[in-house]
Amino acid sequence: MDEKIIEFENVTMFYDADDEEGNKAPIPALSNVDFSVEKGEFVAVLGHNGSGKSTLAKLCNAIYEPNSGVVRVKGIVADDDEKADEVRRIVGMVFQNPDNQIVATIVEDDVAFGPENLGVEPSEIRRRVDEALEAVNMYKYRHREPHKLSGGQKQRVAIAGVLAMQTECIVLDEPTAMLDPVGREEVMQTVHRMNKEMGITVVLITHFMDEAVKADRVVVMDSGRVVMQGKPREIFSRVEELRSHGLDVPQSTELCHILGYGEGVLNVDECVEMITEKLGGAR
């Protein structure tokens, strides 16, 4: 598994804006970022607001071009429209607000929109749409109106839209931020299934630590830079360092850290095990 699907090399990106006097004042969004994703990997990207996560996501999907440095998607640099289209056949995107991604008035038409744009044959589109809706557990809602669905259901329809384009990689920019706990869980299960069962590479941008815990690798951003990366257990052992970047740790990690019982506990089960062991040992 060491084929790189996404590769950022020394990428710098800023937005043009005007300051109060109307002079051009570029706003830095990414500074000298090196970042890569291997085929089949599940990478979580963390960082407080304004740290550059969405900018990174949009560069993966050729929505933006970097001001300097290079972004490669399977070796392709999206420096013209044709190559940008090629990149978008490899990397699909799901955004935070499900309502901004719906383009049709019927669920199955919405899912068909992507492959239609790619010029896929109608019979093949039919097959892909059904398969994609099955994969996200939304097949029985195929004739419904998307705006009447719950947030979690809408996000699963958006994911089906990406699946129907058969991209190898999906970048999700805080897909659960606007969802209730049930919707979050539905979406996270779907994303994990896509990764494990379909082999789709996942880049999940999130501010929920418990979502990052389940990734293969965690990347932490701060002020447009990648400041930490490693396996979840390693990253969540560095409690104070995470705090210095404005992030919390999962509650179970925090509890064991406060109790002085040890670092790198990732979930409730491990926390219970750790406490039981410590209390048992003290008896």
Point out which residues bind ligand ADP (CB under 6 A): 15, 17, 27, 29, 47, 49-55
Token pair of 263 as six digits = 């670092």
> What's the closest the beta carbon of residue 45 comes to ligand ADP, in angstroms?
9
The residue among 136 and 158 lying less far from Mg ion, judged by its C-beta, is: 158
Q: Does 252 bind Mg ion (CB under 5 A)?
A: no
The residue among 95 and 141 lying less far from Mg ion, judged by its C-beta, is: 95
Question: Which range of residues in 3-11, 48-56, 119-127, 252-260 is near Mg ion by CB under 5 A?
Answer: 48-56
Q: In whole angstroms, what is the distance from residue 34 CA to residue 71 CA?
A: 9
For tokens 């409690």, the residue is 239
> What's the closest the beta carbon of residue 49 comes to Mg ion, in angstroms?
7
Question: Which range of residues in 39-47, 49-57, 109-117, 269-277 is near Mg ion by CB under 5 A?
Answer: 49-57
Q: Does 54 bind Mg ion (CB under 5 A)?
A: yes
Tell me, what amino acid is at 171?
V
Q: In whole angstroms, what is the distance from residue 231 CA to residue 59 CA?
A: 24
The beta-strand segments (E) located in 52-168 are 68-73, 91-94
Q: In whole angstroms, what is the distance from residue 14 CA to residue 6 CA?
A: 20
> What's the closest the beta carbon of residue 30 comes to ligand ADP, in angstroms?
8
Q: In whole angstroms, what is the distance from residue 58 CA to residue 6 CA?
A: 12
Cβ atoms 41, 73 nearer than 8 A: no
> What's the closest the beta carbon of residue 177 comes to ligand ADP, in angstroms?
11
- Residue numbers at the binding site for Mg ion (CB under 5 A): 53-54
